[in-house]
Structure 1
Amino acid sequence: MKPLDPRLLRYARTTRAYLAATVALGVVHAALLLAQATLLARAITAVFLDGADAAWGLLAAVLAARAGVAWLQEVAAARSAAAVKSQLRDRLLRHLVRLGPAGRRPAGEVATLVSHGLDALDGYFAKYLPQLVLAVLVPGMVLARLLPADLTATVTIAVTLPLIPLFMALVGMHTEERNRRQFRLLSRLSHHFLDVVAGLPTLKLLGRARAQAGIIRRISAQQREHTMRTLRTAFLSSLVLELLATLSVALVAVGIGLRLVSGHLDLTTALLVLILAPEAYRPLREVGANYHASAEGLAAAEEVFAVLETPAPRPGTRTPASGEIVFDDVEVRYPGRAEPALRLRATVAPGEVVALTGPSGCGKSTALAVLLGFVTPDAGRVTVGGTPLDELDLDAWRRWVAWVPQRPHLFAASVRDNITLGAEHSDAAVHAAAEAAGVAGFVAELPDGYATVLGDAGTGLSAGQRQRVALARAFLRDAPVVLLDEPTANLDSDTAAEVMAAIRELARGRTVLMAAHRPELIRLADRVLTVGEPGLVPAGRA
């Protein structure tokens, strides 16, 4: 079982203030507990032995103060947990953006991690950490209070207390591994389910939907079994801790009863020991119980730290300038692949249209990813206008680039917002870009025109229409460099012809680098580069 992970202090600074507040409130809470036990023991003795009136008003005030301090702890814990989760989410998303597509984890895993995974940290901050502080403070203060009152009971409690953290650690190590395995399985299930939902139309056409349903059913059953095993371990460990604490308190109570009957102990002291003995063990029992409740959050935090500690490309500071784009013996390798994913030596002059060709897997998309700064070459370098790409301010460089991927993503927003991507543009500029990309024709048939809200991933539009919306983005961006990744893939011949006409218009006066398979698309290029082979092959422009 782990205490506070120091990486939480590094990545979420609000934790420090929260821990300081927890320690202060824990001290006050423990002091009020001792005062309550002392007042209660004296009040019972006064009523039953002396027949005098007890200080019930003072006792009620102490009880109210304890309740108030406990409420403040809950409030501080909830607010701190929210602040820490917000900081971790912000850092995680920013780092994923810096890593780019090449270093990003599967979307399903990231979604599970950012949402359900980090939400599980509530139990860690709201319950486990406060109880961890109290588990140190309360037993020490209880023993200090009991020492002058009853040495025998104090020694008994001091000897039996270490048994609880010992068994807690043994059980915790077993539970921690189970929770890690459960979270990994949940992430895998989420990613697989997301992939199935995204490809459901294709699976339905190919008659494979039922098979995927069976796979999801099997993985879900595995997740359920792992969850039940983890819960069983948590319940059994709680039983062990409760049994140890109960036997320890019983041992103290038997000694108190025997000495009280023999006359070696007064009633006030006996009551004080009986009231405080369970309180000495309670914080340790609750630490074990709360640890199991927060173990899933700790497993998620481990995954978050693994992402945050993945080195991101170091950003440059130089401003991009127009000029030749040179791939100088660039080589990219991916883990698990014996052969390089890309080998490329090429020069692209300003205003040229160059087609990257070659078989699938030869590195055409990787070349574009390198130029976008998403992938760092393992050897060689890319220069733009004589400046190495890794020395450029990537944000500034990307403002020079318009990128049309093979499968452009459209958001659950209006057509206009999908074209502008949140940037400020006049209606005239948006309509001109849409007209140039061939979007205006089908937008006129939509219920609300440019204000028509699309479904997620562009639901409501065909593949060709989505591709033309992506081209409209490029027209509106008006960038000097355009990158196209198989822009006519998966389109029928008529739609592909319309998209190529838009590309021909887009290429005027711009440097264009496009990955292409279709001969018609390749004919749009000034030159053709077969990826993996040196040199540029001349080709006519259509």
Structure 2
Amino acid sequence: MASPLNQRLLAAAPAARRHLVLTGIAQAADTVLTVARAALIGTAAAVLIEQDVIRWELVYALAGVVLAQAGVAFVARRWASKSTGEAVDELRLAALKALERRDPRQVEEDSAMWRTTLTSGLEGVRPYLTEYVPALIATCLATPIALATLLYYDAPSAILAAATIPLIPLFMVLIGVLTRTHTQRRLEVTSTLSDQLSDLMLGAPTLRALGVTKAPVSQLRKTGETHETATMSVLRLAFLSSFALEFLATLSVALVAVWIGLRLVEGDMTLLSGLVALIIVPEVYAPLRKVGASFHASVDGMTAAEQVFDLIDSPGTLDGSYVSSGSAEIRVQDLSVRGRDGVTPTGLSFTAIPGRITVLHGPNGSGKSTALLAVLGLLPDSAVSGHIEAPSLSDIAYLPAHPALVGGTVGDNLVLLGALPTATTHSSAEVGLDIPLTQAVHSGGAGISAGQAQRLALARVLALDAPCLLLDEPTAHLSPELVIRLTELLQREAQRGRVLLISSHDPRILAIADQVVQL
């Protein structure tokens, strides 16, 4: 039988375990104060009605209890805010470390899913920790304590309440099974839509140049309608189930209240017992109602978290045993790499030596980028045959086909790989990066043009003091004047004794190559 608490979350995020302990302490204190408040209110009201006397000591004690509850609630919220943020950050970090151990080609293909999962998806873990977990702990602590208090003051009401309680968890289980399926479907549709939008934005210049900007509209509209349908089905189910749970809880409270009222009229119970019982009864069902209401708020996040847990638990596929590190040059012997589209490259052999420019040339899909990943040791050993001798990773500066840019400024992104600011200033001037260092850059490169983003990525790679440069399509998005400037810069870097291994189909790069390797 599955645990109500997600054990994988507690294992993956230490902050979630701390949150669980702190929430338990806060809930225990709140429960004791709630029972004390009910007893004080019932006693004070009964004395006032029966004896027409105000017991001021009870009033002062009640005020103290109310203030204490407010303090506990404030501290609990502060704890929850801090520990929840730390738990989400720990999950993201663990997921990113796990992605480092996976085939980068597969990660690239699933980038839309992981982008959705690690951003908005994991944000849904916050409601799970701040709403669902406290409600679950309250069910384990507050409900039994409230029921025991009710039994002390009025046993018949406690028996009736205990008989109706199982109806709510039973209904919650049925709802949970159905909701999980709908939520998983919604997450898949959201990932698909995100992937399509990302591809459309990347290909927008090409589509505009070809005059086919209206072609993707129908597909995007269809996917958007599917996303709308999936989202509305989850919302519809959430509203209906919340109504059903509220109805069951309200009906249960009403049954106990009517039973207490009838017995008070008949004189079968004291006014003190009746008042305290009436105040306590809602507290028996309140945690169960909160569990049902918070379950839907957290199910999106936990569905995304389950994908992260599967990623973390899966064994890594990378150990780079086909690469011998420490060589001053790059030697590739009979390299073949298996992928979804077959074996590319096949039987590739070449040697890139210091002071020379080696260019891997071939059509799209021939394996140029894959060969660079193999040199870096970033492919699964099971997919690679052949042998590679290359410098260690600390001696290699790598420019991927799609450089990563993070939110911040141009200056922040220039030093992202660890280059010194003085070095990035020089390399920025070399590649013609003429934008202010303080200019804002958003995640993914929004805020600057594609050409500026490419020059920024080139500048930070060239600024690294690495004897070996691996460049994947370095002239992408550059104007002809800047390409000429870049080719002259690459020739100077080669003259400095660096190893330059470039993947390109640009004839201007081929023209400066000392060695062209056809794929």
User: What TM-score, normalized by structure 2, do the two folds share?
Assistant: 0.85
- 1:507 aligned to which of 491, 494, 498: 494
Matched with 1:65 is 68
Contact 1:411/1:458 (CA < 8 Å) preserved in 2? no
Residues 42 and 300 from structure 1, CA distance in 2 versus in 1: closer, same or farther, beyond 3 angstroms? same
Tell me by how many angstroms 1:101 deviates: 3.6
Residues 283 and 74 from structure 1, CA distance in 2 versus in 1: closer, same or farther, beyond 3 angstroms? same
One-letter amino acid of the counterpart of residue 43, structure 1:
A
Residues 236 and 511 from structure 1, CA distance in 2 versus in 1: closer, same or farther, beyond 3 angstroms? same
Matched with 1:481 is 468
One-letter amino acid of the counterpart of residue 513, structure 1:
L
Matched with 1:134 is 138
Matched residues in 1 for 2:400 and 2:261: separation?
A: 80
Tell me by how many angstroms 1:530 deviates: 3.7
Contact 1:117/1:297 (CA < 8 Å) preserved in 2? yes
Write out aligned runs for 1:151-300 (5 A): 151-300=155-304
CA RMSD of superposed structures (Å) = 3.5
Contact 1:121/1:294 (CA < 8 Å) preserved in 2? yes
- 1:331 aligned to which of 331, 336, 341: 336
One-letter amino acid of the counterpart of residue 483, structure 1:
L
Q: Deviations over 1:385-432 (max 9, x none)?
A: 6xxxxxxxxxx82332233445556778887776665645475x6676
One-letter amino acid of the counterpart of residue 223, structure 1:
H
Matched residues in 1 for 2:491 and 2:172: separation?
A: 69
Tell me by how many angstroms 1:291 deviates: 0.9
3-state SS of 2:234 partner: helix
The gaps in structure 1 that reach 5 residues or longer are 386-395, 532-542
Contact 2:31/2:145 (CA < 8 Å) preserved in 1? yes
- 1:124 aligned to which of 125, 128, 131: 128
Q: Deviations over 1:61-114 (max 9, x none)?
A: 222222322232222222221221222233334444554743435554444333
Matched with 2:154 is 150
One-letter amino acid of the counterpart of residue 62, structure 2:
L
Residues 276 and 202 from structure 1, CA distance in 2 versus in 1: closer, same or farther, beyond 3 angstroms? same
One-letter amino acid of the counterpart of residue 49, structure 1:
E
Residues 277 and 383 from structure 1, CA distance in 2 versus in 1: closer, same or farther, beyond 3 angstroms? same
Matched residues in 2 for 1:135 and 1:322: separation?
A: 63
Matched with 2:26 is 25
- 2:105 aligned to which of 89, 102, 106: 102
Contact 1:153/1:256 (CA < 8 Å) preserved in 2? yes
The alignment of Structure 1 onto Structure 2 pairs a total of residues equal to: 509
State whether structure 2 residue 347 is matched by structure 1 residue 344.
yes
Contact 1:468/1:499 (CA < 8 Å) preserved in 2? no
Q: Deviations over 1:295-346 (max 9, x none)?
A: 2221222233244344445568999423453434443222x44x22333352
One-letter amino acid of the counterpart of residue 332, structure 1:
V
Matched residues in 2 for 1:491 and 1:238: separation?
A: 56
Contact 1:409/1:458 (CA < 8 Å) preserved in 2? no
Contact 2:397/2:466 (CA < 8 Å) preserved in 1? yes
Contact 2:487/2:509 (CA < 8 Å) preserved in 1? yes
Q: Deviations over 1:322-377 (max 9, x none)?
A: 3453434443222x44x223333525263354443444322222111111233234
Tell me by how many angstroms 1:273 deviates: 2.0
Tell me by how many angstroms 1:262 deviates: 2.9
3-state SS of 1:343 partner: coil
Matched residues in 2 for 1:111 and 1:483: separation?
A: 26
Residues 284 and 12 from structure 1, CA distance in 2 versus in 1: closer, same or farther, beyond 3 angstroms? same
Residues 418 and 116 from structure 1, CA distance in 2 versus in 1: closer, same or farther, beyond 3 angstroms? closer
Matched with 1:78 is 81
One-letter amino acid of the counterpart of residue 341, structure 1:
T
Matched residues in 2 for 1:525 and 1:419: separation?
A: 27
3-state SS of 2:347 partner: strand
One-letter amino acid of the counterpart of residue 9, structure 1:
L
The gaps in structure 2 that reach 5 residues or longer are none
Contact 2:324/2:388 (CA < 8 Å) preserved in 1? no
Residues 45 and 432 from structure 1, CA distance in 2 versus in 1: closer, same or farther, beyond 3 angstroms? closer
Residues 401 and 495 from structure 1, CA distance in 2 versus in 1: closer, same or farther, beyond 3 angstroms? same
Contact 1:357/1:528 (CA < 8 Å) preserved in 2? yes
Matched residues in 2 for 1:278 and 1:48: separation?
A: 23
One-letter amino acid of the counterpart of residue 156, structure 1:
L
Matched with 1:11 is 12
One-letter amino acid of the counterpart of residue 392, structure 2:
W
More off after superposition, 215-224 vs 285-294: 215-224
One-letter amino acid of the counterpart of residue 112, structure 1:
T
- 1:321 aligned to which of 326, 335, 339: 326
Matched residues in 2 for 1:310 and 1:481: separation?
A: 33
Q: Deviations over 1:515-534 (max 9, x none)?
A: 34456644644544443xxx
Matched with 1:42 is 43
Matched with 2:309 is 305
Matched residues in 2 for 1:15 and 1:454: separation?
A: 34
Matched with 1:51 is 52
Contact 1:371/1:382 (CA < 8 Å) preserved in 2? no
Identity, in percent, stands at 35
Residues 434 and 258 from structure 1, CA distance in 2 versus in 1: closer, same or farther, beyond 3 angstroms? closer
Residues 478 and 100 from structure 1, CA distance in 2 versus in 1: closer, same or farther, beyond 3 angstroms? farther
State whether structure 2 residue 353 is matched by structure 1 residue 365.
no
More off after superposition, 469-478 vs 396-405: 469-478
Contact 1:330/1:381 (CA < 8 Å) preserved in 2? yes
Matched residues in 2 for 1:505 and 1:458: separation?
A: 32
One-letter amino acid of the counterpart of residue 300, structure 2:
E
Matched with 1:390 is none
State whether structure 2 residue 403 is matched by structure 1 residue 402.
no
Matched residues in 1 for 2:438 and 2:29: separation?
A: 59
Matched residues in 2 for 1:291 and 1:467: separation?
A: 45
- 2:360 aligned to which of 346, 356, 362: 356
User: What TM-score, normalized by structure 1, do the two folds share?
Assistant: 0.81
Matched residues in 2 for 1:507 and 1:232: separation?
A: 64
3-state SS of 2:364 partner: coil
Q: Deviations over 1:422-459 (max 9, x none)?
A: 645475x6676567x5x35xx6xx5x7x7584866497
